[in-house]
Structure 1
Amino acid sequence: METAQHTTMQALIIEAANTTFKTIEMERPVAGAGQVLVKIIASGVNPLDNKIRTGGAAHARQPLPAVLGMDLAGIVEAVGPGVADFKPGDEVYGLAGGIGGLQGTLAQYGVFDADLLAKKPANLSMRQSAVLPLVFITAWEGLVDRAKVAEGKTVLIHGGAGGVGHVAVQIATSFGAHVYATGSPKDKAYIESLGVKFIDYHTSTVAEYVNQYTDGEGFDIVYDTVGGATLDASFAAAKFYTGHVVSSLGWGEHKLAPLSFRGATYSGVFTLMPMITGRGRKHHGEIMQEATKLAGAGKLMPLIDPRRFTLDTAQQAHDIMERGKTEGKLVVDVA
């Protein structure tokens, strides 16, 4: 149970859209019913975090001023009434804050819904664990929950070296699928190191790689992690009748005729919904348990940018993210 002790903690807040982080001292939260107080060790940085900071993510419904940061890895400090799955000292991770009015993870402590957390992989560091939740849940919901990936299926991942993409490749491979991934020439070595076929989207048209790798039939599953024209390309790459296109970036206007003419299916993924609405939170924790299993079996390893950041330099991480010059997932070391 949480004690009555109240202390303060350091946190970063954004006071208004498109401003820089400000360090504040605030009261350490107390775990209520169904909640867990976590000492945050590391906070993963996602493109969406920066979009919220700059005022470009209304769909995240995060009113400002606010503590940002969605992903975390840390140590359970205390649990509230009704929490049976965690105890003080447990190492946990999850997609648990920073949107929908929830306190974010750029703070020394946070109180989070126990349903959103899972015990972190013993064989991954806090930094490695902290970058997984958002991208893993997004990839899993698309491939497993929506498209029902299975052994022998042909799977095309657009953006195979990206945040969601590189995790999606590893999930699909773990299910025994035949996996192909698009990317730029600079991504070739990394994508091939994951044991899948690299497709250079600069030099190969959709028709060319559909013909080359599927005899013109199309892929069983196409996961678009890029959006825009890539989603349109995904419609043209789906298998006739049984193909399933999934996208985590289904913004904008798209013509569905190319998909309809193939008799294929489309599903969208909106990973933030459980945190914003409160519905389906337990499933997020269940998905993170699957991530722990995959990592423990040596089938999941995140790609991390080697640069190091702290709460004092977290703004630099956001600036790098905004410029799109990352070499893997960015992490802020909180503790």
Structure 2
Amino acid sequence: METQNTTMQALIAPEANAPFTITAVDRPIASKGQVLVRIIASGVSVLDNKIRTGKGGHARQPLPAILGMDFAGIVEAVGADVNTFKPGDEVYGLAGGIGGLQGTYSEYAAFDADLLAIKTSHLSFRQAASMPLNFITAWEGLVDRANVHEGQKVLVHGGAGGVGHLAVQVAKAFGADVYATGSAAQQQYIESIGATFIDYRATTVDEYVNNYTNGEGFDIVYDTLGGATLDASFNAVRYYTGHVVSCLGWGEHKLAPLSFRGATYSGVFTLMPMLTGRGRKHHGEIMQEATKLVEAGKIVPLVDERTFTLATANQAHEILENGKANGKLVIDVAE
């Protein structure tokens, strides 16, 4: 039975660089193919902050808007033609906040059922809300594009970052030998998730390629940082069979180093299914794979321990903007 359309509390980003305001808005109704979710926790992403500050044009989310992309919550009601979920199910996913879709900084949201997956009890709501965007990005690069498998040597640039720490764990889960760049302060964490640490400040590309691959290069290089790091990736990949993947390959780059190694490149644009409608079901399938890996003990997300509510969400964005987050920041929507 459809939930009555009442009101709910939501965070509105009124205009670029303005603080969020808590506003009472109409509670959505689950239309055909949608699931109405009572949101328990919402992840805070760098892209959310870019949209809020007017720098996320590629997300096509005009302001004013309710932002927030990642969530975990409980199904309240389902629309017509939805038979994969039922009221009371705990779910999570990357489902809103761009392309005109209502975001997750709200008490309720109606999401495309194809984008969601059942949340495992092995994850708290906070942990689950931290994962979808970063996990899907890691999976699309390593599994969908590069076909990661046992016996390969995989280099992840930014191994302690949002996408990077999950990419390390996904590659390990597939049996790869994983290496990850980071700062000296990140060494302990990177090693704790099973990667060989490479201090990008203290070691040149040639040095770590020689040290760890006998000069041949890595089978897969996942760039999560873009810019000069993507250029470095072209010089770190294995001759002939190597594959470079980037989720931030948006600048202008010279392909000669990649071409001279006979290697290949793939870009990852995780937002495409929400922006275009293409491939939404696959995002739900990827989150099902996330659930399996978590239950197998192979994925543990890194979540910032500080807590925020809708009322203090502006503080979370300030921390993110200042680069002071230690793991994914999460808003506890349901107090």
What TM bracket, shorter-length normalisation?
over 0.9
1:20 and 2:43 matched: no
Listed one character per residue, the Cα deviations across residues 223-265 of structure 1 (whole Å, up to 9, x for unaligned) are 0001110000000000000000000001211111010000000
In structure 2, the residue matched to 1:99 is 98
In structure 1, the residue matched to 2:108 is 109
Unaligned runs of 5+ in 2: none
Maintained 8 Å contact 2:168/2:194: no
Q: How does 1:140-289 map to 2 (within 5 A)?
A: 140-289=139-288
In structure 2, the residue matched to 1:138 is 137
Note the C-alpha offset of 1:28.
0.5
Maintained 8 Å contact 2:169/2:194: no
Note the C-alpha offset of 1:13.
0.5
Aligned residues: 334
Note the C-alpha offset of 1:35.
0.1
Q: Distance in 1 between matches of 2:122 and 2:290?
A: 12
Listed one character per residue, the Cα deviations across residues 20-52 of structure 1 (whole Å, up to 9, x for unaligned) are 101100110000000000000000011111001
In structure 2, the residue matched to 1:11 is 10
Aligned-residue RMSD, C-alpha: 0.6
Maintained 8 Å contact 2:142/2:167: yes
Q: How does 1:285-304 map to 2 (within 5 A)?
A: 285-304=284-303
Unaligned runs of 5+ in 1: none
Note the C-alpha offset of 1:7.
1.1
Note the C-alpha offset of 1:195.
1.6
Q: Distance in 1 between matches of 2:278 and 2:195?
A: 35
In structure 2, the residue matched to 1:78 is 77
Matching residue's letter, 1:242: T
In structure 2, the residue matched to 1:54 is 53
Matching residue's letter, 2:2: E
Q: Distance in 2 between matches of 1:266 and 1:195?
A: 25
Note the C-alpha offset of 1:75.
0.1
In structure 2, the residue matched to 1:317 is 316
Q: Distance in 2 between matches of 1:139 and 1:247?
A: 10
Listed one character per residue, the Cα deviations across residues 35-91 of structure 1 (whole Å, up to 9, x for unaligned) are 000000000011111001001010000011100000000000000000010000000
Percentage identity across aligned positions? 74
What SS does the corresponding residue of 1:321 show, helix, strand or coil?
Answer: helix
Note the C-alpha offset of 1:181.
0.3
Maintained 8 Å contact 2:220/2:237: yes
Q: Distance in 2 between matches of 1:208 and 1:222?
A: 16
Note the C-alpha offset of 1:15.
1.1
Matching residue's letter, 1:53: R
1:2 and 2:2 matched: yes
Q: Distance in 1 between matches of 2:18 and 2:59?
A: 18
Note the C-alpha offset of 1:2.
1.9
In structure 2, the residue matched to 1:35 is 34
Structure 1 consecutive aligned stretches of length 4 or more whose deviation exceeds 6 Å? none
